[in-house]
Structures are given as structure tokens and as C-alpha cells.
Structure 1
Amino acid sequence: MATLDRLVARVVEAGGHQSWGDMVTILATTALRISEVSELLVGDVDLHRGLIHVFRQTYPGRGKLVTKETKGRRRRTVPIIEPLRPTLERLTAGRDSTARLLTGPRGGVITTATLRDATRWDDVVREIGQPGLVRHGLRHTALIWMADASVELHILQRVAGHQDPAVTSRYLHPDVQAMLDAGAAFSAWWSPSGPQRPNLAVVRRSRGGDEEGA
């Protein structure tokens, strides 16, 4: 989270406008695609229930912007977590429900290319020690954080908008502490009477290829 805060601050500074930081914040806390955030309307944000409704996306096509259904044509909702709420409250306050939620400094659509160019993205991520981070990587980051927070696979799949759960399962990488806790739990299972080394059977393979227990 500290690294994310640094990234938000740096893109605002480099791009000279709060919209760049708002885009980064939304991407890293919702797992939405940039094209989906760019097409969100004020009315799509339900602060009362704590949900964002995702229906459409806007992205650069051949010489123009294209607006269409989301990838996979699946409408979905994503949760609003508390760290994101202040940003959404500011972006929706007193605005018409049909207005675009987030636009660039001149009122245009934010794309992955404009975010990159306006903020000197490659330089910024290198400065904060994340040289391999691309804009779409923020969606992956959000999904991994949700998985680490024990969000169940079928919910994670709905948030991501994936049709195949096998695609979503790629994000189920337990963090280091979770892995250490799993090891401690497994050790305790092996030694129910206390921290003692279990008497494990050693399996040796004979010259004929048969296994021998010892």
C-alpha cells in the first residue's frame, strides 16, 4: 500500500493533474480494466450499497474511440473498499448521473497510452522500484490482493469478469505470511503431542527397482 501511495503521488506530480492518480487508485482497488474505468458513469457508482456496476468499455479503435460491452459481454459488479471510497465520493459529489466518472485534464477519455505518456510512466515506476509494472498490471495486483485476502475463487471470477475459472485461479498466489502460516499448521498436524520430529519412513529403491521401507 505504501508503494501504491507513492505511485499515485508521483503520477499526479508528473502528469500535473489529479485524474491520473485517481485512475491508478481505481485500477489497483477494483481490478477493472482501464477501458472499463474510462467508460464508468457517475450513476454506475452506488456508494450507498458499496458497489460499482460495470456495463461498458471505451478504448482506441481504428482512428477513433470505440465504446462497446465489456470483454466477454458480461455485466458485473465490483465492491467498493474503504480506501477507495473518498476518491469516489469526490468524483461523484453533485454531478449528473450520466456524466463520465473520470476524464483526463481536458475532459477526454483516459487510455493506457495517454496514462503512459502524460505521466512518464516508465520513468515513474522505475523511480519507485517497480520497473516492470505496466498499467494493466494494476488490475493483476488488485486480483492478487483480493486472493490474498481470502476472497473465494467464484467471487474473484465474477469481479474479474473471467468466463473460465482456470484463468482466475492464476491469481491465487498466497503471500509469504500465508505460506509461513500454512507451514506452521502442517507442522502442528504432524506433531500433535508437541514440537517433536515425527518418525518418518525412509523409502529406498532396491537394485531391482522395488521400493523398500526402512
Structure 2
Amino acid sequence: MPVIKLSQDFITHRLQCPDSKTRIEWCDKDLSGFFIEVRSNRQGQGTFYYRYKDINGKTCTQKVGRSSDIDLAEARNRAKALRAEVALGANPRADEKADKAVITFDDFFKDHYLPYVRPRKRSWDRDEELYRLRIKAVFGSKRLNQVSRLQIQTFHSELLDERLAPATANHHVKLIRHMLNLAVEWNMLEKNPASRIHMFDEDNKEERYMNDEQLGNLMEVLKTDSARSICQIATFLLATGCRLNEAVSATWPQVDKDKRVFRVAAKNSKSKRMRPVPLNDTAIEVLNQLNTEGVYEHLFINQKTKKPYVNIAKIWDKIRTRAGLPHLRIHDLRHQAASNLINSGSSLYIVQQILGHSDPIITQRYAHLSMKSLNDASDSASEIIKGAMEKKSAAMVRTENLKN
């Protein structure tokens, strides 16, 4: 280990390893413990190190940087900073080893997060999809303690550049935050860098309502299209206001035709509570058309697979296009059911109970639809006032005539 006065000229022009050695350490005369290592297979290049003793007297070596990345002055400054840390009782090498012991984001997701949420969260497969499609590429190889708040915020903003909706972009960050919250809870991370990151404003109250002509066109297609099972599912959704998952998961034991009620199971309900849904004539008609009662457990069965439906998107796209409603989403049938209820005079409270909203604030999105019913009621009151005024005027005219 030759000791010399390291200079930038030496680093640039004379950094060599003797032919008789595989490696050599050129130690700095001015800064004790500071040296540059050169290997025989990388002549002209080296790696700066700082050697020190920890509080137990053990000799440790901490990498400072490569000569190809930093110059001598920067390397010496870093070594001096390490010397100051050691003087205060720190152990940079041990800290580095501890950091490397922290598992990667990908390992945490696969080995800890997914096993935890699978039995606890019905939508865990959606979490897996969000992670696999976008989160893994950005954070998967990073260790948990290498993920920073700035990185998450940048990722959040870039999702909008990919033309994702604000609500969808928020779902990604919410998943990251949930994961890191669990890591903190399980003492695998000191603090969560995703906490208190502001979400984008979400305008997720877009509903597409059909007028009478459009509803008539849709019903004509639902009555005549050859994809009978999908048409029956759509008609059932329109009649009951159920969510698609609630309908395709429905079983015959949940249906009571005599009492005209369908009881949505708690495991299939978004509120995680059993919810009774009244069955009107249209819904009963759909149930009577089904040929699955007594044969299958579920109401709606895919005749090809003999199993409940999982995805009806492709067939629904053909149906709505044929009806002249290419932008009508399957979930819009639920909104249409709410619209039909309100326009027939039902209160927001009744709509809340039928749709199964846990919070009345959610039902308030349909408040603008109830204005027609309110206006009709107001017009009725106006007619009463007008009638009373007309009667008063007629009485006054009669009185005047009698005086004359």
C-alpha cells in the first residue's frame, strides 16, 4: 500500500496497477484512511475509499465513488465528511448494510402485501393490475426506504400525461400509500413518504341518461338481440338499479319471487351489508325467462362455460352500438334506474335505500333529476293559488254587480 500525495494529475495520467499485482491501493499522504484502489483489469480507472475503525475497533472500508464519476477534490471532501461522521460515533458501513437489508418494493408487494389483502379485500385483483401495469416499472426495483415523496408525486403527475383520468391516477397513489402504511405498521419502514400527498380533483359524477326515445331503442334491442343472457342481465340492472357485480353474483337462494325481493349478499355488496332490492314487474319477468332455476346456483349463466359471467364488455359493446348508444356504459343503467325512480315521484331517500348508498351524500348526485318532480309539485301549488285568486275575483265581481 504505497503512500503518496494524491493529485488530480496522478489520477488522470498515472493511475496504474503493476503487472505483478491484481490490485493496488494508492493511499493519500494528506488524509489518513483515504485511498484509491486500482485493479489490473481496469487500468487508468479506480475507486475511492475511506478506511476507518468503528466503535468496537473493527476496521471498516466505505466506498466513496469511482474516479470516472467524481474528481479527486470531490472524493476528498466526501471522505472528510465520512471522517466527521465516524468521529461523532456513526458507522457508515453498517448503515449501508442496513439499507441493503431493506426489501425491494416488488418483494414487499408479492411476499407481504398480496398475501395480506387477498383474504381481506375483494378488489385485491384490481390492486394487482394497477401494480403490474404501471407501479412496478417505476418502483419495483427500489428498496422501500429508497422511495421518496418527490418520486411518488412525479409518478402521480405523469399518469395524467398518459391520459389517465384523475380518479384513476389517484387510485395508483392510494395503493402505494396503503402498501407503505402497512410497511410502517409492520416495522419494515420508519415513515411513509406517500402520506399527505394531495390527490387530484375527481369529477366522477358523469352519468349518461337516456331520453324516452333512446330508452325505447335500447329496450327494443334487449328484447330482440340473440345474446339473450346479456340482454337479460342489462334489463335486470335497468329494472333494479343493481351493480353489475351484484347481478352476475346473484344466486337463486337470494331471490324470493313471492315477496318480490332480491337480497344482495353482504360479500357482494359495496357497503358489505346485506341489502334487500325490490323486484318490480320487469325484474320478475326477467327472472321468469331464465332457464337456470333449479339447474344452476346462479341466476345468469354463460351457456358456453356453464359458469357465471365474469366479463360482458364485448357483447355489451355490440348491444349498445346496435341501439345507437355507443357511449352508454353498463353502469349507466344503474343511473338510469335512479332517474326513472325520481322522475316517477320517488324521494331521494327511497332511491338511496334501493340503490344501497351508505351515505345520503352519494345520492345527492341525483338531486338535479328531482327538480322535475319538485317543479311539478310547485306548479300544483301555483294552480291552487291561481284558483283561489280567480274565485276571489269572481266573488268580488258578483258583489259589485249586486250593488249596481
User: Would you call these one fold, judging by a TM-score over 0.5?
Assistant: yes
1:183 Cα deviation after fit: 4.8
Question: How far apart, in 1, do the equivalents of 2:384 and 2:250 lie?
Answer: 49
**Are the equivalent residues in 2 in contact too, given 1:72–1:161 (CA < 8 A)?**
yes
1:118 Cα deviation after fit: 2.1
1:5-61 Cα offsets, whole Å, 9 max, x none, are: 5425535766x43101101110000000000001100111110001011005xxxxx
Secondary structure of 1:71's aligned partner: coil
1:114-158 Cα offsets, whole Å, 9 max, x none, are: 32202434xx43553434311000011111211222233333212
Is structure 2 residue 174 aligned with structure 1 residue 174? no
1:94-114 Cα offsets, whole Å, 9 max, x none, are: 515x61111223234334xx3
**Are the equivalent residues in 1 in contact too, given 2:263–2:277 (CA < 8 A)?**
yes
Aligned counterpart in structure 2 of residue 151 of structure 1, from 343, 346, 350: 346
**Are the equivalent residues in 2 in contact too, given 1:31–1:159 (CA < 8 A)?**
yes
Is structure 2 residue 336 aligned with structure 1 residue 141? yes
Matched to 1:95, the amino acid is G
Aligned to 1:160: 355
Question: How far apart, in 1, do the equivalents of 2:246 and 2:377 lie?
Answer: 36
Aligned counterpart in structure 2 of residue 83 of structure 1, from 274, 282, 286: 282
Matched to 2:231, the amino acid is G
Aligned counterpart in structure 1 of residue 221 of structure 2, from 3, 6, 10: 10
- The alpha-carbon distance between structure 1 residues 190 and 132, as it changes in their structure 2 partners (threshold 3 A), is farther
**Are the equivalent residues in 1 in contact too, given 2:292–2:301 (CA < 8 A)?**
no
Secondary structure of 2:302's aligned partner: coil
Matched to 2:390, the amino acid is G
Secondary structure of 2:276's aligned partner: strand
Give me the TM-score of the superposition, normalised by structure 1. 0.69
Q: Taking every aligned residue pair, what percent have the same amino acid on both sides?
A: 23
1:175 Cα deviation after fit: 7.1
Is structure 2 residue 327 aligned with structure 1 residue 117? no
Question: How far apart, in 2, do the equivalents of 1:42 and 1:5 lie?
Answer: 29
Describe how 1:120-131 pairs up with structure 2 within 5 A.
120-121=317-318, 124-131=319-326
- The alpha-carbon distance between structure 1 residues 94 and 23, as it changes in their structure 2 partners (threshold 3 A), is closer
Question: How far apart, in 2, do the equivalents of 1:154 and 1:4 lie?
Answer: 25
1:190 Cα deviation after fit: 4.7
**Are the equivalent residues in 1 in contact too, given 2:292–2:299 (CA < 8 A)?**
no
Aligned counterpart in structure 1 of residue 234 of structure 2, from 6, 20, 24: 24
- The alpha-carbon distance between structure 1 residues 101 and 142, as it changes in their structure 2 partners (threshold 3 A), is same
- The alpha-carbon distance between structure 1 residues 175 and 127, as it changes in their structure 2 partners (threshold 3 A), is farther
**Are the equivalent residues in 2 in contact too, given 1:153–1:169 (CA < 8 A)?**
yes
1:168 Cα deviation after fit: 1.2
**Are the equivalent residues in 2 in contact too, given 1:8–1:24 (CA < 8 A)?**
no
Question: How far apart, in 1, do the equivalents of 2:216 and 2:382 lie?
Answer: 37
Matched to 2:346, the amino acid is V
Question: How far apart, in 2, do the equivalents of 1:186 and 1:129 lie?
Answer: 40
Aligned counterpart in structure 1 of residue 300 of structure 2, from 63, 78, 102: 102
**Which of the pair has the greater relative contact order for Cα pairs under 8 Å at 6+ separation?**
1
Aligned to 1:202: none
1:187 Cα deviation after fit: 2.9
Question: How far apart, in 2, do the equivalents of 1:34 and 1:154 lie?
Answer: 22
- The alpha-carbon distance between structure 1 residues 186 and 195, as it changes in their structure 2 partners (threshold 3 A), is farther
Matched to 2:221, the amino acid is R
Count of matched residue pairs: 178
Structure index of larger Rg? 2
